[in-house]
Amino acid sequence: MLTVISHIIDDIGGGIFFLGDVIRVVSRHKISFSRVADQIWKVTTQSMTTTALAGFFVGAISTIQFTMQVKEFGALGYLGGLATSGTIREVGPLLIAFMLSGKVGAYTSAELGTMKVTEQIDAIRCLGANPILEIILPRFIGIIVSSFFLLAAGLMMSIVGGLVMGIIFAHINPQEYLRHIPTIVTWSSLVSGLFKCLCFALVLATICTYKGYTTTGGARGVGTSVVNTAVSTMVGIVIMDWLTSLVGESVMTVVMGL
């Protein structure tokens, strides 16, 4: 038990120091926007289909669950607003981020881990270049930017999925489903969902690049890094979800009090 706790603490500390190194490189060097753009395009094109499908079915599932509840109160007219609000604020960003952690996180960790064990990163360092600047930073920024927009696109698809399931499962008129979305889904809900998307993207980018960059042990080590990336990313996303929810509720309490 103590060994597991010690390993977790080492991972958290190593990840924080690694993030500090990345931020330090960003502040001191010029970023190659062409490389960042290549990474953004690569991640987006590889993950758009997965994210869209995940978002669609997340919205559909939320609608089914809310239908069972609102039917008892005869409030099907509010189904669209309630399902969309719950999806955007909490369920959507979390589940879609889980999908991206397996798609983007595992792939990036495997790619960087392979470069590390085949000594490509060491070769870059021997040539006098900074591996973090040349290899890590474009992927880090690219994952954050693309994951944020992918998560936002997934939330939009969740509305479509909820609408389709509302028509099929709840037999509700499309106009009636959409009518209460603007009244229940407030700006604070939208900002909360997008803020969670940004935080989850930061967690994903940090963990997958850190795990890949610190891979050791040859081919077996690459596999271990991929597994650890998937587990650590999901745990990190859950913790970040708790933190952002706690901070968001505190801020809203203060704002409402004013």
> Per the domain annotation, does 8 fall within a domain?
no
> Per the domain annotation, does 13 fall within a domain?
no
The pLDDT of residue 4 is 59
> Per the domain annotation, does 18 fall within a domain?
no
> Per the domain annotation, does 24 fall within a domain?
no
Question: How much is the mean pLDDT over the chain?
Answer: 83
pLDDT at 237 over 60: yes
- In angstroms, rounded to a whole number, what is the distance separating the alpha carbons of residues 90 and 84? 10
What 3-state DSSP class applies to 236? helix
Q: Which two tokens stand for residue 83?
A: 């399902």
The pLDDT of residue 258 is 53
Q: What is the pTM of this model?
A: 0.85
The whole-number average pLDDT for the span 234-258 is: 76
The whole-number average pLDDT for the span 38-62 is: 87
> Per the domain annotation, does 46 fall within a domain?
yes
Q: What percent of the chain has pLDDT over 90?
A: 1
Residue carrying the six token digits 């505190």: 250
Residue range of the domain that includes 205: 33-257
- In angstroms, rounded to a whole number, what is the distance separating the alpha carbons of residues 203 and 206? 5
The pLDDT of residue 128 is 81
Q: Which two tokens stand for residue 165?
A: 């399931």
Contact 13, 205 (CB under 8 A): no
- In angstroms, rounded to a whole number, what is the distance separating the alpha carbons of residues 148 and 202? 9
The whole-number average pLDDT for the span 4-29 is: 78
> Per the domain annotation, does 92 fall within a domain?
yes
- Please tell me the least confidently modeled range out of 98-102, 161-165, 248-252: 248-252
The pLDDT of residue 74 is 72
- In angstroms, rounded to a whole number, what is the distance separating the alpha carbons of residues 246 and 86? 16
- In angstroms, rounded to a whole number, what is the distance separating the alpha carbons of residues 7 and 33? 36
The pLDDT of residue 3 is 64
> Per the domain annotation, does 217 fall within a domain?
yes
- Single-letter code of the amino acid located at 228: N
pLDDT at 257 over 60: no
> Per the domain annotation, does 169 fall within a domain?
yes
pLDDT classification of 2: cutoffs 50, 70, 90: low
The whole-number average pLDDT for the span 4-32 is: 79
Domains held by the chain: number: 1
The pLDDT of residue 253 is 65
pLDDT classification of 163: cutoffs 50, 70, 90: confident
Q: Which two tokens stand for residue 255?
A: 């704002």
